[in-house]
Amino acid sequence: MDAPKIISTKKYRAKPGKPVDLTKWATRDEPICGTRAQLDAVLATHVKATSDVQGRLWANDRFAILVVLQGMDAAGKDGVIKHVMSGVNPQGCRVTSFKQPSSEELKHDFLWRAAVALPPRGMIGIFNRSYYEETLIVRVHPEILGHEEIPESLVNPKKIWDQRFKSIVNLEKHLHHNGTRVVKFFLHLSREEQRKRFLARIDDPHKNWKLSTDDIRERALWKDYMHAYGECIGATSMDHAPWFIVPADDKHNARLIISQIVLDTLESLKLKLPEASEERKKELKSIRKQLERD
């Protein structure tokens, strides 16, 4: 099924090797569709097309897709997963949310817990936050490094972030060379829009659980996070594993942009359903005869 490609996604892509100043990137874009109904209709075609291609991904069992979602609290990561991936067969999609590392995870290098959650061939993996947290929240709160049990001689505050960027780039290059396509999204939310969404969580009893005093403490460090995100994206956006900076103040627009990019990534593999070999056709013919006699 061919879905309409009504937007160019190039402008959202961070150029490889270029510094990123997030103050120069928009948090709100022009509406892609004239009405919400039109947007929902296009998103529905994207969801259906993604489901169709995912079936081919599963049948070929040669490639995997890793979707990384990053953003400040209330940026809309959960909504993207719910609405963009709603049509994908659950057997062929795995969502992993990364929170505070466990004691077991702290016994390993910072990439270990992500490595064991990577999607196998034939599947789409979605990381709701990811190994990038080790260059973001840990950078904003460097005291966390003290809990990671890394030998002190290896923790150089001036070098450790560049070292982690290189480790991540090498991991993603390794994944690409082994059939996993990595596509990364930063949901670029404005501080004002976050304030509105936090207030909405207070006003809606069903969403009260989504807000805590920790969220407010992290919000006070907004500039530190924007600096960390900018350096992280600039250092790790590569041709084989690009970052897309998606304006997230309009959550519906953001979902459509991301759905287009995910679909483009899948379609770039040019997958077709496997054709049966002559030997397989003979086997099926034999099975048919047995069933017809049954």
Cα-Cα-Cα-Cα torsion 235, 239, 240, 246, nearest 10 degrees, comes to 70
Q: Residue 3 falls within a domain, yes or no?
A: no
The edge-to-edge listing of strands for the beta sheet with 124-128 is: 93-97, 124-128, 64-71, 180-188, 243-247
User: For 8-36, what is each residue's pLDDT tens digit?
Assistant: 889 999 999 889 999 999 999 998 888 99
DSSP state of 100: S
In a domain, residue 32? The reply is yes
List the domain range (segments joined by +) for residue 52.
10-293
Task: Let me know if residue 5 belongs to a domain.
Answer: no
Report the number of distinct structural domains present in the chain.
Answer: 1
For the stretch 182-233, pLDDT in tens is 999 999 999 999 999 999 999 999 999 999 999 999 999 999 999 999 999 9
Number of H helices, E strands in the chain: 10, 5
Tell me the CATH number at 24.
3.40.50.300
Residue 40 lies in a domain: yes
Residue 62 lies in a domain: yes
Query: Is position 26 within any domain?
Result: yes
